[in-house]
């Protein structure tokens, strides 16, 4: 358990520390949007790109937030409990969060598969076909099983799959971090140092 905690916490800490600078990316995009509207022709891509940057910032920063314990809690009784009682309660309630994140990941993978032009629910088979097609036929071979690539309905019309992929990766990292938190709670219940 300690090895898992160390690896996942280190990975999510590194990703979280890098992603926290995404606020400057969003600020730059919105600043460009303001300047382009004031002094020249407004850019079509700025609003949607700022939304994509915000999703990446929020989703990829989520595991780091869970790790730091800075997620929002209802602190009616919890704040007065002993660390061991908190660990028991957290170890119990983490299963609800794991279930929720599992459903969210399943929906995210379905949405990702749809945005890549394929919706059968067989993710392993689909990604296997895409990778196999790329190996045998290059980009054209990978495009064959993918079909129609989903695009946004705005004037800019960007492809949607990159942000959906980021969402799936972020949700998966949150799942891994929740398992790490569960292991920490088990160690606290046992009275062992983490």
**Domain tally for the chain?**
1
Report the b/e string of 28-63 with b at 16+ CB within 10 A. ebeeebeeeeeeeeeeebbebbbebbeebbebbbbb
Residue 22's pLDDT is 94
Establish if 105 belongs to a structural domain.
Answer: yes
Residue 69's pLDDT is 87
Record the pTM: 0.82
Residue 120's pLDDT is 56
Establish if 176 belongs to a structural domain.
Answer: yes
Look up the domain containing 178 and give its range.
Answer: 2-71+82-190
Establish if 77 belongs to a structural domain.
Answer: no
Tell me the per-residue pLDDT of 58-104, one tens digit each, with 9 for 90 and over.
999 999 999 998 877 777 888 888 999 999 999 999 999 999 999 99
Establish if 54 belongs to a structural domain.
Answer: yes
Ordered DSSP codes for 85-144? HHHHHHHHHHHHHHHHHHHHHHHHHHHHHHHTT--SS-HHHHHHHHHHHHHHHHHHHHHH
Residues of the chain with pLDDT under 50: none
Establish if 76 belongs to a structural domain.
Answer: no
Establish if 102 belongs to a structural domain.
Answer: yes
């Amino acid at each position: 358990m300690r090895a898992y905690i160390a690896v996942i916490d280190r990975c999510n800490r590194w990703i979280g520390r890098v992603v926290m600078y995404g606020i400057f990316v969003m600020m730059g995009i919105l600043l460009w949007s303001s300047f382009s509207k004031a002094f020249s022709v407004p850019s079509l891509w700025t609003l949607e790109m700022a939304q994509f940057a915000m999703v990446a910032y929020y989703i990829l920063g989520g595991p780091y937030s869970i790790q730091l314990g800075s997620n929002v809690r209802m602190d009616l009784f919890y704040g007065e409990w002993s660390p061991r009682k908190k660990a028991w309660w957290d170890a119990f309630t983490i299963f609800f969060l794991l279930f929720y994140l599992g459903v969210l990941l399943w929906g995210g993978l379905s949405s990702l598969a749809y945005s890549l032009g394929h919706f059968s629910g067989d993710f392993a088979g689909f990604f296997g076909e895409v990778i196999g097609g790329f190996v045998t036929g290059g980009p054209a071979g990978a495009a064959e099983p993918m079909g129609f690539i989903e695009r946004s309905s705005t004037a800019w019309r960007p492809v949607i799959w990159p942000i959906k992929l980021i969402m799936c990766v972020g949700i998966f990292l949150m799942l891994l971090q929740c398992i790490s938190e569960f292991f920490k709670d088990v160690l606290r219940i046992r009275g062992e140092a983490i």
